Amino acid sequence: MLFALAERQLTTDSMQQFLLRMLSDHYYLTFCLTPLFFLYLYRSLEEELPFVLIRSKTFSRYFFRKSMAIAVNSLILVVFQVAAVGIASTGLASRNVFPTNSVAENELFFEFTKYWETPLFAALCSALFLVVGFSLIGFMLQTMHHFLEKRAIAIIGILLYVVMILALKIPALSKLPFVPNRYIILHYNFYSSTAWIWTAAGVAIAGTAGFLLIRYGWNRQLKIKIRSQPKGLFFYYARSLWLPKHLAILFSVILLIYLLKGLTTPTLTVQESFLRYFYGQVPGQFQVMSLLEALLYHGAPLYLIAIFTESMTRMDNLPIFVRIQHKFNWFKVIVGNSLLLVTVYALMTGLLIVFLGMLSGQNWDGISFAGKGAISADWIFQLILLKIGEFSLQYLGFLVLFLVTKNVTLSFLLVLVTHSLSVMPFHSLLYFPIGLSTVARLDMLEESIGIPVFQAAVILIGGIFFLYSVSYASYRRFFN
């Protein structure tokens, strides 16, 4: 109601047009209506009670009746929303025709005219599509809940909602068959003539799979539970590295650099925010802020890994070393946890840039950075992969130094100081692997002095294999 009243104040639509506009507003449907539905659905998930199953005679009858209840409640939720919008539109003129003026805000209405003759009928179809989409999602999550615990369903629901939010600003993502937007928001199926076919196929496959699982596999031993504390040496070490305070530190560093670079302005695009965030230090130039940001961004995960490595190599861990039996097991879990952390850190950076850009009202497409020309469409993916490679190489360099010197602080500082080499005016330093994942060191923009992305990838991969080989040959020194 509040959302509708806010939109009602400045609108020039008729009552029917306003109803269609609200029921096709993906921001309203994503941030207002969908969370209400997910909250209701999560609260309705419960274990099957024996006396209820006995009264229903068969499990499939009980399950499908419960699914019908979810569908009815979805209908009630949408009807209430339609009623709220109808009340908010009181006083508007009644004109059941599409607007003819070609302003930007009526662009979606022109898409609706290809399928429906009146906005009222289009609004009713949008509402019906919303009910069907909520019912399908409710049916699938309820089916998963029969085989998974409630905690797992909460994680799946959160992931689906995050994907749904990202699809608002990344058009290519909304075209994927598993994204909830295309099953909830009607106009997300307007982008091509085959979109309806893919949506119908997704509904048919999901509905059939859920029906067959419940009808014929409900009593199978498929109950899966997420263990709160997985066992094994890898997870034992992981509980020392993957602490909430460590993740909070990494998140804070990413956010701080985002704010320092001034990327919150809505006049930028998300792609421009990526460019500015990963632009880095210009070779041969001394830029204090760029150097400090590089030291902070790359030093944060390495510092946490250094603390983790030091704590895991103390002599009070001798009983663990005895139980490990093979020295390589220690090396494997130390390296595995550390590489996983830097990978997640790089991916978290990319997701946070997209999310913060969406919150700032930034569009996805458009490159006008420093007056440069457009670059390839997959450049963000390339940057993230290169960043993961640089983090991995940086960690393996630290590990080699630690295995040789057995001094965590010295190893950490030696690796960190290599970022300052980019300020030296030597052309050969363009090929130095530290800092190689920044836009300033790559030939991605017009008139760039950097090297091609392929060469950078080869240098990083070669460096990773070399340092891993050295660390593999040296890790036994720790036990001497």
pLDDT tens per residue, range 453-480: 889 899 999 999 999 999 888 877 665 5
For residue range 244-259, list pLDDT tens digits in order. 889 989 999 998 888 8
pLDDT at position 369? 46
pLDDT at position 166? 77
For residue range 152-189, list pLDDT tens digits in order. 888 888 888 888 887 776 666 777 777 888 888 888 88
pLDDT at position 373? 43
Averaged pLDDT of the chain: 81
Residues sharing a CB contact under 8 Å with residue 393, sequence separation 6 or more, in sequence order? 433, 434, 460, 463, 464, 467
Residues sharing a CB contact under 8 Å with residue 337, sequence separation 6 or more, in sequence order? 234, 237, 238, 241, 242, 308
Span of 26-30, 103-107, 175-179 with lowest mean pLDDT: 103-107
> What SS3 state is found at 118?
coil
Q: What is the DSSP string of 188-252?
A: GG-SSTTHHHHHHHHHHHHHHHHHHHHHHHTTSS--B---SS--SHHHHHHHHHS-HHHHHHHHH
pLDDT at position 274? 86
Residues sharing a CB contact under 8 Å with residue 60, sequence separation 6 or more, in sequence order? 214, 215, 218
pLDDT at position 227? 54
Q: How confident is the model at residue 229 (pLDDT cuts 50, 70, 90)?
A: low
pLDDT at position 132? 92
Q: Which residues share a beta bridge with 363?
A: 269
Span of 13-27, 225-239, 259-273, 398-412 with lowest mean pLDDT: 225-239
* Structure tokens that stand for 181 in this block: 């937007």
DSSP tag of 363 = B
| 102, 54 contact by CB (below 8 A) | no
* Structure tokens that stand for 283 in this block: 């070779």
For residue range 296-333, list pLDDT tens digits in order. 999 999 999 999 888 877 655 556 655 666 667 778 88
For residue range 69-104, list pLDDT tens digits in order. 999 999 999 999 888 888 888 888 888 888 777 666
Percent of the chain residues topping a pLDDT of 90? 18
pLDDT at position 371? 42
pLDDT at position 303? 93
**Mean pLDDT of all residues in 339-355:** 91
Residue 238 dihedral angles phi and psi, to the nearest 5°: -60, -35
